[in-house]
């Protein structure tokens, strides 16, 4: 396929296409996507759940990218209109990295995809090595971490977040890796007695207010952190930055000598 015309209806797919050096092939993206500084800028085709399919038709793409089971109806509608759709729906951190290879192959950039996937894996392994070395040297246990994807009602983050916490040197007893995020009650959080609470509500960026935890009647004694939701919620390259960021929150002593190199 010679310079295919691409439409991305998923921010994570857009981020992967950027990382693969293919953002200039995008002719359409959602309002939630960040295609970067490309000229000409791709057309905005609506929300990721509510794209304007007539506008997608008019763009005449060779390939449309979607993600997440919530877009199942969108995928069906696109296929009914004759579009070629590449849907990626990773549930774990390894599957997110593997999706780089899947998308790279779809746009005929397998070498770039392999390079990207290897780089992401190497960055995760570097964090894991630093954390394990630090834990062994200090003879300390992994802290319990509670990650909240939404606060009203409280939702414990699932999917790849348990893997991110594990890679960053924490324990996450609230949701199994690959399982969907779900509502959680006070008793469950208190029973696991988290050392850290990480707030990353969808759509808030890094503007989550830690007081939402402090004002609850939860009997926990945890440090509360608000981080950019893209670092934990979007199944793309930013998840690895999330691993790096979270590891420095949980184990700052493991990165004293490399703090100046933080991404």
Domain ranges of the chain: 6-89, 140-261
pLDDT value for 41: 96
The CA–CA distances, whole Å, from 239 to 26, 154, 224, 243 equal 22, 22, 20, 6
DSSP secondary structure code for residue 239 in this structure: H
Pick 6-89's CATH classification: 2.40.50.110, 3.40.50.1980, 3.40.1000.10, 3.90.600.10. Answer: 3.40.50.1980
pLDDT value for 205: 86
Place of tokens 């500084």: 37
> Which residue(s) pair with 28 in the sheet?
7, 43
Q: What's the rounded mean pLDDT across residues 220-228?
A: 96
Residue 199: band (very low, low, confident or very high) from pLDDT cuts 50, 70, 90: very high
CB 165 within 8 A of CB 225: no
pLDDT value for 257: 61
- The model's pLDDT over 130-159, given as tens digits with 9 standing for 90+, comes to 999 999 999 999 999 999 999 999 999 999
- The model's pLDDT over 54-99, given as tens digits with 9 standing for 90+, comes to 999 999 999 999 998 899 999 999 999 999 999 999 999 999 999 9
Look up the CATH superfamily of 140-261: Nitrogenase molybdenum iron protein domain (3.40.50.1980)
Tokens of 200: 């990353």
Q: What is the dihedral of CA 255, 256, 257, 260, to 10 degrees?
A: 80
- The model's pLDDT over 112-130, given as tens digits with 9 standing for 90+, comes to 999 999 999 999 999 999 9
How far is residue 203's CA from residue 62's CA, in Å, rounded to a whole number? 30
- The model's pLDDT over 40-58, given as tens digits with 9 standing for 90+, comes to 999 999 999 999 999 999 9
Tokens of 9: 């209806």
Same topology, domains 6-89 and 140-261? Answer is yes
pLDDT value for 203: 86
Residue with the bigger pLDDT between 247 and 207: it is 247
pLDDT value for 76: 97
pTM score of the predicted model? 0.92
């Amino acid at each position: 396929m010679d310079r295919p015309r691409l439409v991305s209806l998923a921010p994570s797919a857009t981020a992967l296409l950027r990382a693969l050096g293919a953002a200039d092939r995008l002719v359409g993206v959602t309002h939630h996507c960040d295609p970067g500084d490309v000229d000409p800028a791709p057309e905005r085709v609506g929300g990721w759940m509510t794209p304007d399919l007539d506008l997608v038709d008019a763009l005449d793409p060779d390939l449309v990218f979607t993600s997440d089971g919530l877009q199942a109806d969108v995928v069906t509608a696109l296929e009914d209109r004759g579009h070629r759709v590449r849907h990626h729906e990773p549930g774990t951190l390894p599957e997110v990295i593997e999706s780089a290879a899947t998308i790279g192959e779809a746009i005929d950039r397998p070498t770039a995809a392999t390079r990207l996937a290897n780089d992401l894996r190497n960055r995760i392994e570097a964090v894991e090595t630093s954390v394990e070395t630090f834990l062994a040297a200090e003879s300390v246990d992994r802290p319990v971490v509670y990650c909240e994807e939404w606060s009203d009602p409280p939702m414990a983050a699932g999917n790849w977040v348990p893997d991110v916490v594990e890679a960053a040197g924490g324990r996450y007893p609230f949701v199994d890796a690959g399982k969907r995020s779900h509502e959680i009650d006070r008793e469950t959080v208190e029973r696991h007695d988290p050392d850290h609470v990480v707030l990353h509500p969808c759509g808030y960026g890094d503007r989550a207010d830690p007081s939402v935890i402090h004002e609850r009647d939860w009997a926990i004694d945890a440090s509360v952190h608000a981080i950019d939701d893209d670092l934990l919620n979007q199944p793309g390259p930013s998840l690895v930055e999330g691993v790096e960021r979270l590891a420095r929150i949980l184990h700052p002593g493991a990165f004293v000598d490399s703090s100046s190199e933080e991404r």
